[in-house]
Amino acid sequence: MSKEKSKQAAALKALEWVEDGMVLGLGSGTTSHHFIRGLIKKFQQGLTIQAIASSEESETLAQSGGIPLLDMTQVSSLDLTVDGADEIDPQKRMIKGAGGALVREKILASMSREMVVIVDSSKLVDTLGQAPLPIEVIPFGVSATIGRLEKLSLQGTLRGGSAPFLTDNGNYIYDARLPPHLENPESLHLQLVQIPGVVDTGFFFGLAGRVVIGQEDGTVMVKD
Ligand code: 5RP
């Protein structure tokens, strides 16, 4: 069974936890899109839900299926957010943001009673940092900001190079390579968010609730 099928299996499991009347946070990326497509089916069969999307892409997908989308300025809490991850360690610490939606994803996760994480087994790591850490930075003064990141020994690349990738917030993403045995990601995150120009990092701590891991054989494992 392909990786896509594993992602779909994880997404379908999370759909079982969606209840009538819920206000949902919708994640971004291919796994979240499997979830949104499943949600559209359930909505069209009569499930009553409202949602807020973490990216314009996910919003467009949800809108295409008629899912009622709320205005973010009028919502302060969510029942459930379902989102993917780029890496997740045994303590459910994550790296997210390969799709560039990390800031909105973190806002939705932090507003939710629970963030359900849906991944395929390739996302499980012992130590965070196998994938680059996306860091959202403001375009103004980006060279100085990158210089400061490099001074912390975080070599990396500006996503998109000379035609930088723009997030939905109008910012850039710096993809930083992390040291091979990163012992204290929490402390690194705190250092990074103190740099003027850094909006947020793709580290997600203390946010993951249930983690659904789609397996290659189509079954799922749920970590409570
Ligand atoms: C986007 C994200 C995604 O959740 C993450 O990149 C996982 O994506 P996929 O489900 O396509 O593997 O953080 O910003």
Please write the tens of the pLDDT for every residue from 66-93. 999 999 998 999 999 999 999 999 999 9
Is 105 an annotated catalytic residue? yes
Q: Which among 57, 59, 87, 105 is annotated as catalytic? A: 105
148 CA from centroid of ligand 1 (Å): 27
Question: Does residue 148 sit in helix, strand or coil?
Answer: helix
What gap in Å lies between CA 118 and CA 214, rounded to an integer?
8
| Total-model pTM | 0.97
Beta carbon of 33 within 6 Å of any ligand 1 atom? no
Cβ burial 44-57 (10 Å sphere, 16+ → b, else e): eeebebebbbbbeb
pLDDT at 15: 98
Ligand 1 centroid to Cα of residue 160, in Å, is 17
29 CB within 6 A, ligand 1: yes
What is residue 113's predicted lDDT score, i.e. its pLDDT?
A: 98
Rounded-to-10 torsion of CA 143, 193, 176, 104: -100
Ligand 1 atom with minimal separation from the 7 CA:
10
102 Cβ closer than 6 Å to some ligand 1 atom: yes
Cβ contact 85:68 at 8 Å: no
Beta strands in the chain (DSSP E): 23-26, 50-53, 78-83, 87-88, 94-95, 112-120, 133-137, 156-158, 172-176, 198-201, 203-204, 208-214, 220-223
> Tokens for 182?
């990163």
Q: Which of 8, 26, 32 is the pocket-test mutation for ligand 1 (most atoms within 8 Å of CB)?
A: 32
Residues in the chain where the model's pLDDT stays below 50: none
CB of 154 closer than 6 A to ligand 1? no
What residue's CA is closest to ligand 1, atom 2? Answer: 97
- Helix 3-15, helix 30-44: angle, nearest 10: 40
